[in-house]
Structure 1
Amino acid sequence: MAIPGAEAGLTPITAIALVGALGVGAQYIAWRMQLPAIVLMLVAGIVAGPVTGLLDPARDIGPLVAPIVSLAVAIILFEGGLTLNRHKLRDAAKGVRRLVFIGAPLGWLSSALALHYGAGLGWATSAVFGGIMIVTGPTVIAPLLRQARLARRPAALLQWEAIVNDPIGALAAVLAFEVVIVRHTATTAGDAAQELILGIVLATVLGLAAGYGVAMAFKRGLVPEYMKVPVLFVVLVGVFALSDAGLHESGLLAVTIMGVVIANAELPSYVEIRRFKEHATVLLVSGVFILLAASLDFAMLERLNWRAALFIGLVIGVARPLTVVISLIGTGLPWREKLLIALTGPRGVVLVAVAGLFGERLAAVGIEDGALVAPLAFALVAVTVVLHGFTLKPVAQLLGLAGSDAPGVLLVGATGWSTALAEALQKAGVLVMLTDSNRGRLRNARQLGLPTFFGDVLSEAAEHNLELAQYVRLVALTDNDAYNTLVTTDLAPEYGRDNVFQLARAKEGQARHALPATLGGRVFAQGRSFDELQALTRAGWEFRTTTLSAEYDFEKWRAERPDALLVTAIYPKGELRFPREDSSLKGGEGVQLLYFSAPKPKPQGQA
């Protein structure tokens, strides 16, 4: 039911502010409630748009809607290109390469067939929409994997497939779209071929030139550090506009190629660029999704009859499983892992954003069923996200491919103290991983049966071989204070700044050695330094655990052990707390206290 007075509309500024609030707000609530963000954004957009009439993009923002969506999709596709690094593809497992080189074209074909024979769309629309359906939703897969905690290999396959196929699906859709548009706008077949070739050549040349130009300028220091992101953004918009002026929508191809070139240029400032693309994508993806959801017409949704349900059933039950099974033939993967991957194919915001834009363009050139692309995309995304969001973990458990439910801890630096801590955490039921770049330091941990990783935690090898989604806390425990600060600073965006910890620096209290709050992690072991902990270890201190109860609470424990160093509290549901001091800890029944304390005094008369 529409809100009374909503017909008057909002001002453009108010409407854009509302779009931002709904999009980012939905993502924040989804993060707090551990729900797929896309579902909440879908609900928010539909409620604000067709249900209440509060937001009508065509009415409130007017002619700016189309260019805003086009530019946002261009930046989203550029971000997809930035994820396609040849080193990552080369280092990816054999199964990932199969899912990319065989699965992508096969998925394009099977999706187009499902659209044509299931949804009843024409071949032109099916080819365009089928291309973008290759993307399995990198923005959706990551939170689903964190929630389901799959075993490492199937989780890695699903994650890498989503990352690598993101730009490939976009390229497939763009190329198919160019062919369709040229065929419907050119007067003869010769003109169509000429216009298509010229447009693709122009987009490719612009994308390559801009990518290499930006990379060389950044490498040679021609652009100051503080201007790199603004320059990149302006060049991106300029390339999109120039290419689009030559051939309508070829700008999408140009910016995708530009992103691929920059991703493979090995820029030292790539971290800043990556942060920019991550922040921009969160804002733009949520904004585009809200705009498209608010623009939905219930009359158009009513056109989605039983054929839409047939199409979704074919995609989930036939196209996806068939693509995965054929692609993974000969990889040696167990059938359980193949089955889990075949049954997992959520689509995300990128699909809706790109498909919605292309659907409007197809309808504008006279292809009537292009108007069905947006509602079909919304329906497919809603069904797959809800389906996999609620079934992925149970299915993985049924197949024996679910990881531990307990959140894990990644310990960086294998010393005597950290190895003893890892052993104590493992005995307390906490998933733990101990890493070090010195193989000899890991020898004792391996003899104790502790999971270890040999290598630098900041290396690409660690990114590829460690399933970081299983570890919600990172603690830097090496004897090098500078390295601890580097690790926690670099990985803070990955884990969240509240979840990275390090030992206190030896000279932290001195003004000339003090670091700004933006560097380093939170205090661990209640502010003890490496040297202090090593001294306690040499004095015979050791780790112990105590479980609190109604009769034996935290105050009684502390009264009995006034000198004990409380390291962590493990709550009944597996939540970990690393207290800065005792006052920051909330004890309770069933809470395990892991602490470091002096050896128990021997009874009198014993040697």
Structure 2
Amino acid sequence: MHDLAMQIAVIGVAGIAAQWLAWRFQIPAIVILLAVGLIFGPLTGMMNPRSDFGELYTPLVSTAVAIILFEGGLTLRLREIRETSTAVRRVVMVSGPMVWIMTALAARYVGDMSWPVSLILGALLVVTGPTVIMPLLRHARLKARPASLLRWEAILNDPVGALFAVVSFEAYLVLRGAHDAEHLIVTTLAALVVAVAGGILGGRALTIFFARGHAPEYLKAPILFAVVVGMNALTNLLLEEAGLLTVTIMGITMANSKLASLNELRKFKETITVLLVSGLFIVLTASLQLSVIMSLEWRVVVFLALVLLVIRPIAIFVSTTGAGLEFKERLLVSWIAPRGIVAVAVAGLFGTTLARIGVADADRMVAYTFAVVAATILLHGFSLKPLARILDLRVTNRPGILIVGASRFSIALARRLKAQEVPVVIADANWSHVSEARLAEVDVWFGEILSEEAHHSLDLSRFDHMIAATDNDAYNALVCTDFGAEIGRSEVFQVGSTSSGQQTSGARHAMHFTLGGMPLFKPPRTYNQLRDDIIDGWTFQATRLTPEFGLEQFFETRPEGTTPVLWIQPSQDIVFAAAEGAGEPDVGDVIIAFGPPRAERDQEKIVRGTLTEREARAERARKTAEDVAKQSEGAN
């Protein structure tokens, strides 16, 4: 396939299809992308992007990696590193050089490579790859501390490892007489200064430029994109791949600024990154030669064992001694170190250059790098979640629900969910409302859910669903719109009027269809209606369906007006009744329904025919009035 337009189209479609399949079947996306790249490239010879793209191949790959690292930097907020700052600093500054030296020794004496290739390979395998770590963290739902450490290490180590490789390569050129040592030292120091200072100044300049309104909203993302590409290219003029450090620091600088439009910029960059990661990994894997892969011998197995089981654990345990981490956290981090795009990309770059200047085992460096990348993706991709479960480092083994608004309705729902062992948290900025929820023994978060603090301290990976249940429909819609991007627009629900079900009199009062969440009830029910129902004695009931007691019997034995809100499947997945394509509950599901109460003795009387339905409703109304009167007396 030599038609570049068709090749780009195939890579794009295959990459996104792989991402969707990974989401659908809950497996690491990189595993599927790796398989697709092998099929397109070495196994079938359908494409060879390195030769097909020609001179554009290297700069395109370098630019794509820079954009990916910048987006990774945008996710790093200094407030998140409070508990792991010492560990992160030691992992980058102590563990990184240790891995470099030990891996180089393994490549030299086990892989039987030359010293130049061994040093470059050791530097490349310092990186742990945010393009692999990020999807794995989302999939594994780790607790905050180990997740923060792995994320920071992956993003910071990528440019550091690339710089180690560049320094090794330049040092080899010095030994060959192509450069002098003074030139290398001056160039390296200048590149580091430019990278660090340029990243900080570039990030702050863009923040001020955007904050003062010098660019319209529709141009902010394109300007940001252009600046990232430009900063990467400019720094690379001093030292190859030093631009990766520049854009990473620029991303971190902007992530920790108070820029109102940062969320929109981050969403745009995340979309671009998903496209680039999907396509880039296929391109890099498809560019491998089958002969290179077949050249791997028994030495690579021993090398892999040393890298995974000896070098990484030693470096992590030595560097994190006294860093405030538990043993099980250090054990997890010492095992999880998948390599990704940067290692493969830089290995291809230097492998080609070394081969051109006559280094015999340059191709073996590429093969070894690919072997480590493939092995770590497969081993770490499929072992992270089980290992985290064994070590009790997962946030929860069940999907949770975040409820915004501590009303009597939401507290009653939370108590019923908690009784079914569903993780649930109620968030509210009103202390008296939160106090009521705490008295009901429901987990709470006191504060404004739309604040920056909420995004830091409320780990959203704990929640698969959210319900906005305050008395303000517009606020509910705002909350659902804000959190829908992270939790999923199909998994955020709200009480009252929504974009998909309006209770208003006309289009003038209707919200735009892109705002808000799904209605919690169909047809939508307002906050006041639900409040009145609670006052009238309505309750949440949990009922498990069995072969003998199915959905039809459920409705036959419930008072009129009972509405299923959600059901919990045997797999612990939660399905909301109002969700699109929810279907119906099946045998084994536990239905959480909201409906009028029916006392057991009334149920028995109705069955015997000694009490009419009307009399039962009147009796419930009388008891409710007595309860309200008692509460009023207690308040007075």
Contact 2:339 2:377 survives alignment (8 Å): yes
**One-letter amino acid matched to 2:264:** E
Contact 1:417 1:533 survives alignment (8 Å): yes
Q: What do residues 263-291 of structure 1 show as CA deviations (whole Å, max 9, x unaligned)?
A: 33332221122112211211111211111
Residue identity over aligned pairs, in percent, reads 40
Answer yes or no: is 1:176 the counterpart of 2:164.
yes
The Cα of 1:427 is off from its aligned counterpart by 1.5
The Cα of 1:16 is off from its aligned counterpart by 1.0
Q: Which residue in the other structure is 2:632 paired with?
A: none
Q: Which residue in the other structure is 1:597 paired with?
A: 595
Q: Which residue in the other structure is 1:522 paired with?
A: 518
Q: What do residues 427-448 of structure 1 show as CA deviations (whole Å, max 9, x unaligned)?
A: 1232222222334423343344
Question: In structure 1, what is the Cα distance between the partners aligned to 2:589 and 2:495?
Answer: 24
Q: 1:277 aligns with which of 269, 294, 298?
A: 269
The Cα of 1:109 is off from its aligned counterpart by 4.4
Contact 1:131 1:170 survives alignment (8 Å): no
**One-letter amino acid matched to 2:546:** S
Contact 2:15 2:282 survives alignment (8 Å): yes
Answer yes or no: is 1:504 the counterpart of 2:496.
yes
Contact 2:72 2:130 survives alignment (8 Å): no
The Cα of 1:119 is off from its aligned counterpart by 3.5
Q: Which residue in the other structure is 2:219 paired with?
A: 227
The Cα of 1:83 is off from its aligned counterpart by 3.3
Question: In structure 1, what is the Cα distance between the partners aligned to 2:466 and 2:254?
Answer: 30
Moved more, 173-182 or 374-383: 173-182
**One-letter amino acid matched to 1:344:** I
The Cα of 1:350 is off from its aligned counterpart by 4.2
Question: In structure 1, what is the Cα distance between the partners aligned to 2:30 and 2:486?
Answer: 21
Q: Which residue in the other structure is 2:19 paired with?
A: 27
Moved more, 559-568 or 338-347: 338-347
**One-letter amino acid matched to 2:485:** P
Cα separation, partners in 2 of 1:354 and 1:463, compared to 1, 3 Å: farther
Cα separation, partners in 2 of 1:517 and 1:117, compared to 1, 3 Å: farther
Contact 2:497 2:519 survives alignment (8 Å): no
Contact 1:140 1:348 survives alignment (8 Å): yes
Q: Which residue in the other structure is 2:633 paired with?
A: none
Cα separation, partners in 2 of 1:99 and 1:299, compared to 1, 3 Å: same
Q: 2:60 aligns with which of 53, 62, 68?
A: 68
Q: What do residues 284-328 of structure 1 show as CA deviations (whole Å, max 9, x unaligned)?
A: 112111111111112112332222222221122112222332233
Mapping for residues 558-573 of structure 1, pairs under 5 Å: 558-561=555-558, 562-573=560-571
Moved more, 331-340 or 161-170: 331-340
**One-letter amino acid matched to 1:518:** T
The Cα of 1:568 is off from its aligned counterpart by 0.8
Answer yes or no: is 1:136 the counterpart of 2:128.
yes
Cα separation, partners in 2 of 1:383 and 1:570, compared to 1, 3 Å: same
Cα separation, partners in 2 of 1:134 and 1:434, compared to 1, 3 Å: farther
Cα separation, partners in 2 of 1:119 and 1:487, compared to 1, 3 Å: farther
Mapping for residues 309-458 of structure 1, pairs under 5 Å: 309-331=301-323, 333-364=325-356, 367-401=359-393, 404-458=396-450
Cα separation, partners in 2 of 1:96 and 1:448, compared to 1, 3 Å: farther
The Cα of 1:143 is off from its aligned counterpart by 4.0
The Cα of 1:473 is off from its aligned counterpart by 1.0
Contact 2:140 2:394 survives alignment (8 Å): yes
Question: In structure 1, what is the Cα distance between the partners aligned to 2:345 and 2:436?
Answer: 52
Q: Which residue in the other structure is 1:5 paired with?
A: none
Q: Which residue in the other structure is 2:549 paired with?
A: 552
Cα separation, partners in 2 of 1:374 and 1:463, compared to 1, 3 Å: farther
The Cα of 1:29 is off from its aligned counterpart by 1.0
Moved more, 497-506 or 444-453: 444-453
Answer yes or no: is 1:161 the counterpart of 2:149.
yes
Instruction: Please state whether the residue corresponding to 2:566 is helix, strand or coil.
Output: strand
Q: Which residue in the other structure is 1:4 paired with?
A: none
Contact 2:404 2:467 survives alignment (8 Å): yes
Cα separation, partners in 2 of 1:326 and 1:446, compared to 1, 3 Å: farther
**One-letter amino acid matched to 2:70:** F
Moved more, 527-536 or 301-310: 301-310
Moved more, 53-62 or 310-319: 53-62
**One-letter amino acid matched to 1:80:** G
Q: Which residue in the other structure is 2:37 paired with?
A: 45
**One-letter amino acid matched to 2:520:** F
Contact 2:469 2:527 survives alignment (8 Å): yes
Instruction: Please state whether the residue corresponding to 1:453 is helix, strand or coil.
Output: strand
Question: In structure 1, what is the Cα distance between the partners aligned to 2:452 and 2:342?
Answer: 26
Contact 1:182 1:195 survives alignment (8 Å): no
Question: In structure 2, what is the Cα distance between the partners aligned to 1:417 and 1:306?
Answer: 65
Cα separation, partners in 2 of 1:459 and 1:366, compared to 1, 3 Å: farther
Question: In structure 2, what is the Cα distance between the partners aligned to 1:431 and 1:313?
Answer: 40
Contact 1:11 1:61 survives alignment (8 Å): no
Question: In structure 1, what is the Cα distance between the partners aligned to 2:265 and 2:398?
Answer: 34
The Cα of 1:594 is off from its aligned counterpart by 0.9
Q: Which residue in the other structure is 1:543 paired with?
A: 540
Q: Which residue in the other structure is 2:630 paired with?
A: none
The Cα of 1:455 is off from its aligned counterpart by 3.1
The Cα of 1:118 is off from its aligned counterpart by 4.2
Contact 2:101 2:122 survives alignment (8 Å): yes
For these two proteins, the number of residue pairs brought into alignment is: 595
Question: In structure 2, what is the Cα distance between the partners aligned to 1:332 and 1:285?
Answer: 34
Moved more, 578-587 or 281-290: 578-587
Q: State the TM-score, normalizing by the size of structure 2.
A: 0.85
Answer yes or no: is 1:83 the counterpart of 2:75.
yes
Q: 2:460 aligns with which of 451, 458, 468?
A: 468
Moved more, 179-188 or 422-431: 179-188
Instruction: Please state whether the residue corresponding to 1:473 is helix, strand or coil.
Output: strand
Cα separation, partners in 2 of 1:169 and 1:18, compared to 1, 3 Å: same
Instruction: Please state whether the residue corresponding to 1:272 is helix, strand or coil.
Output: helix
Q: Which residue in the other structure is 1:6 paired with?
A: none
Question: In structure 2, what is the Cα distance between the partners aligned to 1:581 and 1:174?
Answer: 46
Question: In structure 1, what is the Cα distance between the partners aligned to 2:115 and 2:529?
Answer: 71
Question: In structure 1, what is the Cα distance between the partners aligned to 2:133 and 2:240?
Answer: 32
Question: In structure 2, what is the Cα distance between the partners aligned to 1:587 and 1:29?
Answer: 26
Cα separation, partners in 2 of 1:585 and 1:286, compared to 1, 3 Å: closer
Q: 1:298 aligns with which of 290, 311, 314?
A: 290
Q: Which residue in the other structure is 1:575 paired with?
A: 573
Cα separation, partners in 2 of 1:247 and 1:353, compared to 1, 3 Å: closer
The Cα of 1:31 is off from its aligned counterpart by 1.1
The Cα of 1:220 is off from its aligned counterpart by 1.4
Ranges in structure 2 where 5+ consecutive residues have no aligned partner: 606-610, 624-636
Question: In structure 2, what is the Cα distance between the partners aligned to 1:270 and 1:581?
Answer: 30
Moved more, 551-560 or 63-72: 551-560
Question: In structure 2, what is the Cα distance between the partners aligned to 1:57 and 1:426?
Answer: 54
The Cα of 1:535 is off from its aligned counterpart by 0.9
Cα separation, partners in 2 of 1:343 and 1:62, compared to 1, 3 Å: closer
Cα separation, partners in 2 of 1:163 and 1:582, compared to 1, 3 Å: closer
Question: In structure 1, what is the Cα distance between the partners aligned to 2:446 and 2:94?
Answer: 33
**One-letter amino acid matched to 1:32:** R
Cα separation, partners in 2 of 1:100 and 1:22, compared to 1, 3 Å: same
Question: In structure 2, what is the Cα distance between the partners aligned to 1:122 and 1:273?
Answer: 45
**One-letter amino acid matched to 1:563:** G
Cα-Cα RMSD? 3.0
Ranges in structure 1 where 5+ consecutive residues have no aligned partner: 1-8
Instruction: Please state whether the residue corresponding to 1:567 is helix, strand or coil.
Output: strand
The Cα of 1:418 is off from its aligned counterpart by 0.9
**One-letter amino acid matched to 1:549:** T
